[in-house]
Amino acid sequence: MQVVVLGYEWQKSEWKEIPEGITWISDAGEFSTHTSADAFVDLAFEPEAERIALLRCLLPKPVLINSVSEPLAETDPGFIRFNGWNTFLSAPVWEAACSSEATKQKSEAIFALLHKTPEWLPDAPGFVTPRVVSVIINEAFLALDEGVSTKDEINTAMKLGTAYPYGPFEWGEKIGLKNIVGLLQKMSQTQPRYTPASLLVQEAFN
């Protein structure tokens, strides 16, 4: 079995042990030169029309996309989406969603080859872990903006109090503040309580 994976160098490094049967590519256009592969994984997915059209041409073979914020209704119901944010990529379990039981069954062998176990969740923006982490990071920026404490103190308090691997500001930097803001904005379209803090938006785009 051959699986073609598109990703950045930092993603390749975070994965640490690349399983056998993986062909690593660095440009989306290279997918079209590997159409005989059994499955395709886009770790660097961007929800752009051209990218979606390119990946759609690879169906009905399994196409897995790193799409935390965009549900399948906004990309293609034939895809399988998963949480591949930085710091989560190396985890043995990936949060994932698909639109049918047949697609789910077809993907099991792919996840096994990748040495990952899928945790199937509803096809909603943010899955579970990114949603929770984004809210924590947002609250940390609200506290900082209100002068409750400093970044270092909040990071330390959260790590000691929750045993999380990173403080909220550290986590935000690793994931990418633009990713955090994008997810919060997506969720705030239906739930205003997810509106990103103004200081978070400011730091993400300045």
Which residues are registered as beta bridge partners of 42?
6, 65
Q: Are 60 and 40 in contact (CB under 8 A)?
A: no
- What average pLDDT does this structure show over 138-158? 96
For residue 163, pLDDT beyond 90: no
pTM for the whole thing?
A: 0.94
Structure tokens at 77: 């119901």
DSSP state of 38: S
Q: Per-residue pLDDT tens for 3-42?
A: 999 999 999 888 877 778 899 999 999 999 999 999 999 9
Q: What's the CA gap between 149 and 123, in Å, rounded?
A: 36
Domain 3-120 belongs in CATH node 3.40.50.720: yes
Q: What's the CA gap between 52 and 72, in Å, rounded?
A: 11
Peptide linkage before 165 cis (omega within 30 of 0): no
Q: Per-residue pLDDT tens for 194-204?
A: 999 999 999 99
| Higher pLDDT, residue 65 or 165 | 65
- The CB density around residue 77, as the number of other CB atoms within 10 Å, is 12
- What average pLDDT does this structure show over 62-71? 98
Q: Span 129-205: which CATH code?
A: 1.10.1040.50
pLDDT of residue 6: 97
- What average pLDDT does this structure show over 173-183? 97
- The CB density around residue 174, as the number of other CB atoms within 10 Å, is 14
Q: Per-residue pLDDT tens for 84-127?
A: 999 999 999 999 999 999 999 999 999 999 999 999 999 999 99
- What average pLDDT does this structure show over 165-190? 97
Looking at the chain, the whole-number percentage of residues with pLDDT higher than 90 is: 91
pLDDT of residue 190: 94
Structure tokens at 58: 């690879």
- The CB density around residue 72, as the number of other CB atoms within 10 Å, is 18
For residue 69, pLDDT beyond 80: yes
Of 76, 81, 70, 69, the C-alpha closest to 42 is 81
Question: Any idea what the Cα angle at residue 151 is, between residues 189 and 181, rounded to 5°?
Answer: 20
Which residues are registered as beta bridge partners of 5?
24, 41
- Domain layout of the chain by residue ranges: 3-120, 129-205
Q: What's the CA gap between 84 and 130, in Å, rounded?
A: 10
Structure tokens at 52: 């979606």
pLDDT of residue 131: 97
Domains 3-120 and 129-205 share a fold: no
SS3 117: strand
